[in-house]
Amino acid sequence: MKVRESKDPQAPRIVIVGGGLSGLTVAYRLRERLPQARLTVLESQPRVGGNIGTQYVDGFRLETGPNGFLDNKPSTVQLCHDLGLSDRLIAASEGSRKNRFVFVDQRLQRLPGSPIELLRSPLLSWSGKLAFLLEPLRHGRRSNREESVAEFATRRAGREAANVFADALVTGIQGGDPQLLSLPANFPRLVELERRYGSIVRGVLASAKAKRRLAQARGETPAGPPKMWSFREGLGVLIDALREQLGAAIVCGAKVRQLDRDASGWQVLGEGRDRWSADVVVLTQPAYEQAEALDSLDSELADELRSIPYNAIVVVGIGYRQTDVPLNLDGFGFIAPQRTRRDILGVQWCSSIFPDRAPSGLVLWRVLCGGWHRGEMVHWDAERLLVAVRQELQQMMGVTAEPVFHRIIRWPRAIPQYFVGHLARLQRIEARVSAEHPGLFLAGNAYRGIAMNDCTEQGQLLAERIVHGLQSPDKPATRAW
Ligand SMILES: Cc1cc2nc3c(=O)[nH]c(=O)nc-3n(C[C@H](O)[C@H](O)[C@H](O)COP(=O)(O)OP(=O)(O)OC[C@H]3O[C@@H](n4cnc5c(N)ncnc54)[C@H](O)[C@@H]3O)c2cc1C
């Protein structure tokens, strides 16, 4: 049931800029907690959803951005539940959970799922395997210097394992470079596991045991490793449900260009003469767009936001006849680690992961190109991209046939990169917003996590903080996130 907005002139006016998952979650959670608030979501595009969207073309169901979300945090599953979507959720196939590959040494190799499989795997030499297996015996961290993902992985598991596994991990998640990405900003759980248990392996085993015990004590079946989820009709279902709930609060085609403050509160300026007054403003558009909006108000803050880098990604959705594919596709797909500088970062075998992604007898894959070191590919024309992708698919998967379908989606500024120094920058931003701009909140995937789960978790926390701030007049809501 939709909650109608109050017409009470005393009700707080809240403007949320950006209708991606972050903005829609903040808005939805605020609606739940503060139904009397006068809420507006301003979105520059004709549709909400930001990176998230499902296209249905020629019987293929293609995700434009994320392919699914994990249940390693409860926030997105909970959001789906609250929206009445639980029955429509589907888990990724069993095979896609077990079989993940990397393209290393000119061939596809299965990523080991256990220490025994690691011992049998040709991915590491014997000395590399030994270095990896000694991880539980290594000392904990002695310095407080912020480490890169590569430094951390090398220190804990040896250089070979870092080159293969850490690189594959960040190629698959961030499309980034492990030498540049900050460990604590991108993987705070690994920092916490090392701090608490002195070892990642010991930490993972101990937390799995604790979870099993808790489940047994509650009489529940212990949950296995995290699963990926989506909907039969694609992730667009989640966005449609949020849009439906927020109804007239959403204004599409409203590009915010500037923020001002006067005696009556915040003024949010759009193109032409569009203007919205607000007591609270939440910016959730990408950081470089937040910078543009804040530039005339606080150029130092804008410079900080502008310096959060983004990579570029091209998603090439490509369909083949099943009979033209020489491989068994019972798996998630594969990563080509970014240090190999191939023309593709990896391939997701979408129709093997979720049902109904391709018409009968056909398969659908998403080939991801670009990333931090190959960002120029976003400017390649369609023909050049397709030739490069087909050459790579031929070398890596032995596919020589003509595709029956293709569609190219370009993300010139796709995923924010939390490089070493990111957390210090967040502290400076937060201090400045708190001190100078009461009622302003900065949110979105540029700050504390890029996964859908991070956006829904941070969105919910922020909504709670705003409610708390509005309900305690002596404690104005002044935090950046
Ligand atoms: C190719 C790709 C694959 C991904 N895969 C996964 C995955 O498999 N799993 C996962 O969990 N996550 C994945 N992610 C990450 C996840 O999708 C994003 O982090 C998340 O959707 C970001 O949501 P957001 O609302 O913070 O930002 P966005 O989605 O960027 O939304 C920001 C919104 O602000 C709007 N906007 C911009 N400027 C203005 C302005 N001036 N005025 C008004 N509105 C404005 C934009 O149009 C947009 O709608 C992927 C991302 C990409 C790009």
User: At residue 2, does pLDDT exceed 50?
Assistant: no
Instruction: Return the pLDDT at 215.
Output: 84
User: At residue 229, does pLDDT exceed 90?
Assistant: yes
Residue 105 lies in a domain: no
CB 157 within 8 Å of CB 165: yes
User: What digits encode the pLDDT tens for the residues 259-308?
Assistant: 999 988 999 999 988 999 999 999 999 999 999 999 999 999 999 999 99
Strands 312-321 and 280-283: unpaired
Protein residue whose Cα sits closest to atom 29 of ligand 1: 50
User: What digits encode the pLDDT tens for the residues 4-17?
Assistant: 455 676 789 999 99
Residue 101 lies in a domain: no
CA angle 220, 226, 232 (to 5 degrees): 100
Protein residue whose Cα sits closest to atom 5 of ligand 1: 66
Residues with Cβ within 8 Å of 75's Cβ and at least 6 positions away in sequence, in order, are 453, 456, 457, 460
Domain count, the chain: 3
Please indicate whether residue 455, judged by its CB atom, sits closer than 6 Å to ligand 1. yes
Instruction: Return the pLDDT at 479.
Output: 43
Q: Per DSSP, what are the bridge partners of residue 103?
A: 108
Q: Are residues 163 and 255 in the same domain?
A: no
The confidence band for 474, taking pLDDT boundaries of 50, 70 and 90, is low
Instruction: Return the pLDDT at 3.
Output: 41
Percent of the chain predicted with pLDDT > 90: 85
For residue 50, the CA-to-ligand 1 centroid distance in Å is 5
What's the mean pLDDT in 117-130? Answer: 94
Please indicate whether residue 363, judged by its CB atom, sits closer than 6 Å to ligand 1. no
* CA of 313, closest atom in ligand 1: 1
* CA of 21, closest atom in ligand 1: 25
Q: Which domain holds residue 382?
A: 54-95+310-411
Average pLDDT, whole number, for the chain?
Answer: 94
Q: Are residues 392 and 338 in the same domain?
A: yes
- CATH number, domain containing residue 193: 1.10.3110.10
CA 401, CA 221: separation in Å to the nearest integer?
Answer: 46
The confidence band for 194, taking pLDDT boundaries of 50, 70 and 90, is very high
User: At residue 70, does pLDDT exceed 70?
Assistant: yes
* CA of 293, closest atom in ligand 1: 41
For residue 49, the CA-to-ligand 1 centroid distance in Å is 7
The confidence band for 328, taking pLDDT boundaries of 50, 70 and 90, is confident
Residue 69 lies in a domain: yes
User: What digits encode the pLDDT tens for the residues 397-420?
Assistant: 999 999 999 999 999 999 999 999
* CA of 452, closest atom in ligand 1: 11
Residue 42 lies in a domain: yes
